[in-house]
Amino acid sequence: MNIGIIGTGYVGLVTGTCFAEMGNTVTCVDIDEGKVQKLRSGGLPIYEPGLEVFFRRNLREDRLHFTTELAEAVQGCDVLFLALPTPPAEDGSADLSYVLGVADRIGVLLAADPGMGYRVVVNKSTVPVGTAARVRAVLEGHGLVAGERFDVVSNPEFLREGVAVDDFMKPER
């Protein structure tokens, strides 16, 4: 399966690397060109036990890719995981601007090419209840029909630092 991971922070890197270790082809997207270059050349910006071995193996075996171009992931992947920051807003609520902004860009890309087919958009970010409906509404705002061109699902992250690779590869739930 071709999987896109939007965001290469802690959750995105662990998720993308572990999916690649399972044999999937993974395209990770980040807006930080310097970070993408470092990742492409084998530099891992985080430490997590077991991650580096999987990361290097899957780079070498060409299952793990990094880009700054969202279109590469949207065009080439069946499933798109949103692993984006949701910092606290001034009122303490989650700032969903990154999540909804990327959803908007995905909508533009899907609407521009009806031949691209169906995509599953997965909320992996830490988001409040109701965010999937908001992402769905953003995509529908581009004339896309849920269930035909896309679906939105939630897959909250339950990764604990220090055992995140094991948590991902052998989940309890």
Decide if pLDDT at 105 tops 80.
yes
What is the pTM for the complete model shown?
A: 0.95
Confidence (pLDDT) at 116: 93
- Facing residues of 80 across strands? 4, 121
Phi, psi of 3 (to 5 degrees): -120, 135
> What is residue 160's predicted lDDT score, i.e. its pLDDT?
85
Distance from C-alpha of 45 to C-alpha of 13, rounded to nearest angstrom: 9
pLDDT tens digit sequence for 77-97: 999 999 999 999 999 999 999
Confidence of residue 117 (pLDDT cuts 50, 70, 90): very high
* 125-158 tens-digit pLDDT: 989 999 999 999 999 999 999 999 999 999 987 7
Residues 6 and 84 sit within 8 Å (Cβ to Cβ): yes
Interatomic CA distance for residues 102 and 6, integer angstroms: 8
Q: How far apart are CA 59 and CA 64, in angstroms?
A: 5
pLDDT digits (tens, 9 = 90+) for 21-69: 999 999 999 999 999 999 999 999 999 999 999 999 999 999 999 999 9
SS3 5: strand
- Which domains are present in the chain? 2-169 (3.40.50.720)
**Residues facing 152 on adjacent strands:** 121
CA-based nearest residue to 55, from 99, 5, 122, 98: 5
Mean predicted confidence (pLDDT) in 97-110:
98
pLDDT on residue 119: 98
Q: Which of 101, 132, 139 has the alpha carbon at shortest distance from 118?
A: 139
